[in-house]
Amino acid sequence: MAAIAPRRLTKELKELTMGECPAGVQLLQSADFETWVLSLEVLGESLYKGEVFALRFRFEPQYPIASPEVTFIVDDKFKAPIHPHVYSNGHICASILGHEWSPVLGVASVCITLQSMLASCKKRERPPDNDRYVRTAPASPKKSRFHYDDDTV
């Protein structure tokens, strides 16, 4: 039973490296079954044209029953996209990473969802409560209780 996560991740890794990686997504680091890093860009016309972001996936042993912890990497090389659902510390407010997570989803489907979230954005701005949230945010966004109030973007 405990072997679900590695088996599942092995399969996902195989699919991602065998060319089934979604367009605009690239695997940067996948040395173990705890943390993966993927780069992500939005193809086609969008507010984020030409920008490359990086996503960090952290997997618990209960993955995929439990959702992965997904954040945008914020360091010297990468910045979090300026988007109403993305906080400046890289935390993402997306229902599929929280209560709408389903174990049939995976790394690739999360990347595609986030791509489309960015692609459909009309206005580059931070969430309204960005400063307050970032000041008090827990290390893992999975510990935050988000209100999924707007699903238009």
Catalytically active residues, by annotation? 93
- For residue 25, CA distances in Å to 30, 60, 94, 103, 133 come to 14, 22, 19, 21, 28
**What residues between 47 and 86 interact with other proteins by CB under 8 A?**
62, 64-66
Contact flag: residue 18 with other proteins (CB under 8 A): no
User: Which C-beta is closer to other proteins: that of 10 or that of 29?
Assistant: 10
119's CB contacts (< 8 A; 6+ apart) are 42, 44, 46, 48
For 9, the enclosing helix (H) or strand (E) is helix 4-15
* Total residues binding other proteins (CB under 8 A): 16
Contact flag: residue 141 with other proteins (CB under 8 A): no
Summarize the chain as % helix, strand, coil (round to 5).
Answer: 30, 15, 55
User: Which C-beta is closer to other proteins: that of 8 or that of 56?
Assistant: 8
Q: Are 56 and 92 in contact (CB under 8 A)?
A: no
**What residues between 94 and 113 interact with other proteins by CB under 8 A?**
96, 100, 102-105
> Nearest distance from residue 96's CB to other proteins, in Å?
8
In 3D, which of 116, 73, 80, 125 has the Cα closest to residue 96? 116
Contact flag: residue 17 with other proteins (CB under 8 A): no
Contact flag: residue 140 with other proteins (CB under 8 A): no
Catalog residues that contact other proteins under the rule CB under 8 A.
Answer: 1, 4, 7-8, 10-11, 62, 64-66, 96, 100, 102-105
